[in-house]
Amino acid sequence: MSIRARTRSALSRAAIRSQQRSEGPPRTTRSELVEWARAHLPDRKLVVVSNREPYSHVHQGDRIHTIRNAGGLTVALDAVMQALGGVWVAHGSGDADRAVVDAHDRVACPPDRPRYSLRRLWLTHEDHARYYSGFANSALWPLCHVVYVRPRFHLADWESYREVNRRFASAVLEEVEDRPALIFIQDYHLALAARFIKERRPDLQVAMFWHIPWPNPEVFRVLPWKEEVLEGMLANDVVGFHIRRHAMNFLDTVAETLEARVDLERFAVDRAGKRTWVQPFAISVDAEEIAALAEAAETRRTEADIRERLGLEGCKIGLGVDRLDYTKGIPERFEALERMFEKHPEWQGRFAFIQIGVPSRIELREYRNVQVRVRRWAETINDRFPRTAGPTVHLIEANLDFRELVPYYRMADLCTVTSLHDGMNLVAKEYLAASPDLEGALVLSPFTGAARELERAWIASPYDQEGLADAYHAALSADPDARRERMAALRETVLRRNIFDWMLDVLDTIVGMNLRTPTQEPAAASPATEGGQPSWSAPDESRR
């Protein structure tokens, strides 16, 4: 079979799979994913690269404890790694991390049942301040989220970012040695890593997933190092985003910034004889696991304890769960809550709101400001709309264990996600997975990736205070049967496509698309292709 035919058949297999998945029950379990990986990646070393590590070690008294990063993504990647025994390269952030590694900075994972190797990379305080807090979180994060927090571009931050990316790449190359490998890079901290890897090993298969939005070219063009960032990303064989819009924005940005052939039909970029596939893969959660946790007797007991402790008996309960980040629209949700109490005073004393706010990136001023504003809003609402049994707003500033979070999801009559802009937003999906009795309602910002799939939520813009207040009221006072019917449809959507489907789609795309084969066509070649009329874009000089 020709290269193109093979590529096309891989594409149509992916399309059929995605179609079947949207019509049928969930198809991928953790063990199916593992089986698939064993069958399709036997000769390749799998290397996952992320800023954050799957396990960290911390001192507790005179003992060293292992902490598992419990995010859905980490759990899915961890399952594949456990099956295949590859290497995970990440920043060692635990205060006892150095104490447990070998001479090559490796530690076996999971620590109690070693299956793969975690290669730790060390960052100094200055690296962290410049690469992580600086370029990643003060330049790329606000730039990609378009939330009117001005991105800051400092040459020293950029240089540090480049240098740390180079070090991640070197660590990957050391781990791979001279073997074939499939490398899967996570997120905006590591936009340049693929390029440094491919410079030395062009034969390796490299993919990256960008977990946050990608803005339109008008926004992106202010980045002083835009060409280098794009070139770094195009060194990947596959670049994944959550939704088509972000993938389209990326393709448009490439078209306007670089000399490249952008194929808007296939979602691919051809540049200097190399093809990069730019594809949407909607991430999800381990819905079955969350549902099982929600049904556990212990969860119900904890729920009853929380109700009693916070004085919530006889009250409808609203919930927000977020990192304290300016992209999450937390002050906006409080503003709308206040408005709802004004417009619909019947809720005063009958509705309470719990906000779990995980402290985040606290070294940055904008994040400390969020914390201050959120605290003030909680006080304002509590002063204006007091309840006898307890405060109207409970602000819980803590990073809870995921098991502790589930009872909150389960007891909430309303969960609100008010992101000003968000790649996907997993909280919306976790809430639905954790509501097996369908007693709830989701109020969701249209500016999340999740809103593309969860169309039957109460969709309300955080920029529209009246509309958001009305959505809260409508969701709380909806006819119970109609509300349950909406919840059932939403929950089914989450159950149909879980985190293992996402992981399988990504890996299958990397393996199936014949990634190591460049098109061999020069950048300015004829647009004629087999099987369709691809759209073409060339750099638009006037808009640079």
Q: Tell me if residue 235 falls in helix, strand or coil.
A: coil
Q: How many CB atoms lie within 10 A of CB 107?
A: 21
425 binds ligand GDG (CB under 6 A): yes
In the complex, least distance from residue 321 CB atom to ligand GDG, rounded to whole angstroms = 5
Count of residues in the chain: 544
489 binds ligand GDG (CB under 6 A): no
Which residue from 121, 424, 454, 494 is in contact with ligand GDG, where contact means CB under 6 A? 424
> Could you tell me which stretch among 311-319, 371-379, 398-406, 431-439 binds ligand GDG (CB under 6 A)?
398-406
402 binds ligand GDG (CB under 6 A): yes
Q: Which residues contact 331 (CB under 8 A, 6 or more apart)?
A: 370, 373, 374, 377
In the complex, least distance from residue 450 CB atom to ligand GDG, rounded to whole angstroms = 8
67 binds ligand GDG (CB under 6 A): no
In the complex, least distance from residue 513 CB atom to ligand GDG, rounded to whole angstroms = 22
Sign of CA dihedral 421, 193, 7, 261: positive
Which residue from 206, 427, 442, 506 is in contact with ligand GDG, where contact means CB under 6 A? 427
In the complex, least distance from residue 184 CB atom to ligand GDG, rounded to whole angstroms = 14
Cα 205 from Cα 507, distance rounded (Å): 11
**If phi over 0 gives left and psi between -120 and 50 gives alpha, with beta otherwise, what is residue 44?**
beta
Task: State which of positions 199-228 bind ligand GDG (CB under 6 A).
Answer: 211-212
Q: Which is nearer to ligand GDG, 212 or 515 (CB)?
A: 212
In the complex, least distance from residue 186 CB atom to ligand GDG, rounded to whole angstroms = 9
Binding-residue pattern over the window 247 to 286 for ligand GDG, x denoting contact by CB under 6 A: ------------------------------------x---
Q: Which is nearer to ligand GDG, 255 or 356 (CB)?
A: 356
DSSP state of 531: S
70 binds ligand GDG (CB under 6 A): yes
407 binds ligand GDG (CB under 6 A): no
Task: State which of positions 314-353 bind ligand GDG (CB under 6 A).
Answer: 321, 323
Which residue from 53, 263, 270, 422 is in contact with ligand GDG, where contact means CB under 6 A? 422
Residue 115's identity, in one-letter code, is R
Q: Give the C-alpha distances (Å, rounded to integers) separating 144 from 83, 269, 362, 400, 539.
A: 34, 20, 20, 28, 21
∠ CA(174), CA(177), CA(179), 5° rounding? 145
In the complex, least distance from residue 128 CB atom to ligand GDG, rounded to whole angstroms = 18
Q: Can you list the positions of beta strands (E) in 329-392?
A: 351-358
454 binds ligand GDG (CB under 6 A): no
In the complex, least distance from residue 178 CB atom to ligand GDG, rounded to whole angstroms = 33
In the complex, least distance from residue 327 CB atom to ligand GDG, rounded to whole angstroms = 7
Number of residues that bind ligand GDG (CB under 6 A): 23
Binding-residue pattern over the window 26 to 65 for ligand GDG, x denoting contact by CB under 6 A: ----------------------------------------
Q: Which is nearer to ligand GDG, 130 or 328 (CB)?
A: 328
> Could you tell me which stretch among 48-56, 69-77, 172-180, 514-522 binds ligand GDG (CB under 6 A)?
69-77
Cα 177 from Cα 197, distance rounded (Å): 12
DSSP state of 162: H
430 binds ligand GDG (CB under 6 A): yes
In the complex, least distance from residue 424 CB atom to ligand GDG, rounded to whole angstroms = 3
Are the CB atoms for 416 and 472 separated by under 8 Å? yes
Which residue from 146, 185, 254, 356 is in contact with ligand GDG, where contact means CB under 6 A? 356
> Could you tell me which stretch among 24-32, 193-201, 308-316, 418-426 binds ligand GDG (CB under 6 A)?
418-426
> Could you tell me which stretch among 67-75, 243-251, 265-273, 337-345 binds ligand GDG (CB under 6 A)?
67-75
For 402-439, b/e burial (b = at least 16 CB within 10 A) is: eeebbbbbbbbbbbbbbbbbbbbbbbbbbbbbbbeebe
Which residue from 405, 406, 451, 507 is in contact with ligand GDG, where contact means CB under 6 A? 405
Cα 444 from Cα 305, distance rounded (Å): 28
DSSP state of 144: H
Which residue from 9, 399, 477, 520 is in contact with ligand GDG, where contact means CB under 6 A? 399
Cα 241 from Cα 239, distance rounded (Å): 7
501 binds ligand GDG (CB under 6 A): no
Reduced 3-state DSSP string for 418-477: CCCCECCCHHHHHHHHCCCCCCCCEEECCCECHHHHCCCCEECCCCCHHHHHHHHHHHHH
Give the H/E segment covering residue 45.
strand 45-50
Cα 369 from Cα 375, distance rounded (Å): 10
Q: Which is nearer to ligand GDG, 205 or 425 (CB)?
A: 425
Residues linked to residue 118 through DSSP beta bridges, in sequence order? 88, 107
119 closest CA partner among 108, 128, 111, 127: 108
259, HSE (Cβ side, Cα atoms, 13 Å): 6
516 binds ligand GDG (CB under 6 A): no
362 binds ligand GDG (CB under 6 A): no
Residues lying near ligand GDG in the complex (CB under 6 A) are found at 70-73, 211-212, 283, 321, 323, 356, 358, 399-402, 405, 422-427, 430
